[in-house]
A and B are shown apart, each in its own frame.
Chain A
Amino acid sequence: MKIYIPKDAAALSLGADETAEALAAAVPEAEIVRNGSYGLFWLEPMVEIEKDGRRIAFGSVMPEDVPSLIESGFGAAHPLYLGKTADIPALKMQNRLTFARCGVIDPLSLEDYTAYGGFDGLKKALEMPPQKIVDEVKESGLRGRGGAAFPTGIKWQTVLDCAADQKYIVCNADEGDSGTFADRMIMEGDPFTVIEGMIIAGLAVGATMGYIYLRSEYPHARDTLRAAIKTAYESGYLGDNIQGSGKSFDLELRMGAGSYICGEETALLESLEGKRGMIRYKPPLPAIKGLFGKPTVVNNVISLATIPVILEKGAAHHAAFGEGKSRGTLTVQLAGNVKYPGLYELAFGQPLRDLIYEIGGGTATGRPFRAVQCGGPLGPFLSERQLDLAVTYEDFAEQSAMVGHGGVVVFDDTVDMAQMARFSMEFGAEESCGKCTPCRIGTVRGYETIDKIIRGENRAANKALLEELCDTLIHGSLCAHGELIPYPVLSALREFPEDFGLDRQAA
């Protein structure tokens, strides 16, 4: 018998190690596999039993549940029984392209990886001329999943078209946005897919060196990536002469040091160069003058992890999901105050309301919904009246909302939106790189002014001042950090003026 218990950091945070130990002690003859998580976090630690090639799941298994599980013969009569894993409704309704293997396989088993289609994309790419690979990515409609949603194929074309003695692939694994954990999950649950995506990117643009820039808050992902990179070298997928093809690609893991702004691509490049994470002026684009002044592809983890399946199954397969100019799938990360929090890989176009109420089951506390923040700490807050918009880049942009990296953070009616607005400015100040004045000083003046409004000092005048300050930040900042901080603040003011002691009319 095989028993699967996730080693994903979130599952560990709920006691997966203790459950694994209890099971190992109680069923010594079983083979215990530490898989990644499927992302159904209200069911973690989720234990699966493989019998006769079928995987049966049990949800929220704590060490004290182990004796009764054994007594029931891991049967359907047990209260934690969920049935066949693949039939769990929250999994069945998903369109898992990028996350197809996550949760299913042992993350560090190359054998598992290749058995589930791993490196099939690379095999195809090794036979293709670079332009053909770039064309495939263009046709897939993949857009940068880090948040900016820039077409990945066009970025790659720019780097391919640059003549240079050295080019680089940089994987942005500085997943700093609150409410997002998809990068972490795939790095811990299926690290080879990130590595494969980077190798293919290297073949496509002519880069022979890659860096993964990982945030320091992810020690579990760090350990998994280190082990996976080592295995990939040992098995001839990294280094010289990849699988006898004559092509080479080297890959190195670099750690960040707790700076949110280093998720901004030019600050990330500065940090990789060993400097302060200060943003750079653009142009020149990193695609033309990036790391150490050389043409560089900077892609988010999920963008790169989606490349293998695009090559494996073809651009058309990927483009068949989604709608309009939002093709493929979005890894929605439902978090905060929601009953069924987790990772849901879905085709673009789902209504936001369904995500929160149908899929998420409403708030975890059972209290009324009040606000949702999509797209990380720089995304605007949306209220009940805005929930009917569909999750696509275009529909969100029309409402000045942000899909970003797919994070959806839900709040119930106990939230104080004036405090949330203050927090946005405080966070903005804490994480500003300091290069441009609007962001460096404006964010500090921002929370000071919000404090005055909260205290009731000249509310109307200070509100006008705050709006003017936000306008300066939006139009005068050098990068997206300063440009976007005002959005949560202004949306809180507009949708929830009563929390600031302002009346709705005046707002």
Chain B
Amino acid sequence: MIQTSVELLFQGITLGGLYGIIGAGLALTFGILRVVNLSHGEMITIGAFVAVALVGMVPTLPIALVLAGAFVACALLGAFLQAAFVERAMAFRDPMVPMLTTFGIAVVLRNLLVETTGADLRGLNVGGLAQSSISLGGMTFGALPLVTLLLAIGVFVILSLLIRRTTFGREVRALSDRPEIAALVGVRGKRVHIKVAALAAGFAALAGVLLAMRASVSPYSGVSYLLIAFEVVVLGGLGSIRGAFAAGVLLGVVQIVSSRFDGNAGLLYVHVTFFTILVIRAISGRLS
């Protein structure tokens, strides 16, 4: 009993770590670009499909290289989309224009993916990672969840260091607090925007690869991942990377525990949990 609950909790935390990563990417783009990037979910699926393609070409490719490949591919795509479309849309005063633009981009990307790969669910197995496991104190932990957890912590630490310790991070913080003054003292806004978009897309791709290894992936998976990312951002608080990970873990645990008791529920309980917290916050007035 205790053993199963510890294992469930562990699974929930590792899944939540991935949700934290996708939420942190969305929070980053919103914090700096002031754009709710609705094509974020597509970056997650495209990352997974890049991994599927890489493993299809070289089946023995180690996990680190697969993750790197997906990261680079999506970071380039994210930078291109930002430079070519979103940056232009941000020039309009209405904040809804960039959001709707990213929505249009998402529809195009999703259907391009359907046309090239087919609409079927795909599994992803890198180096037998899903089957191998490690025993610890009488309890077995899968190798995949451990890799996932390490990656989530790694992304969290790297992101915090990047934002707090580097010149890039200083520019990012300056742009998010006072864009006009930042531009005045020589921060190149567009260049930082492109870097931020690339970073968020790259992290989304990393999470996408591991999410596909946990379950499977189809071109339509992006929609539900986008919603989870959004829920993570709202629950965790804007611009708070730590909050994003806490919220991700909450939703991950809810999903794992609910699927244990109700196998066909999908994301129903995750969405209901989010909405319930929202209602409670709304009633208690802690939401503005």
Same complex origin of A and B: no
B interface residues with partner A (beta carbon < 8 Å)? none
A interface residues with partner B (beta carbon < 8 Å)? none
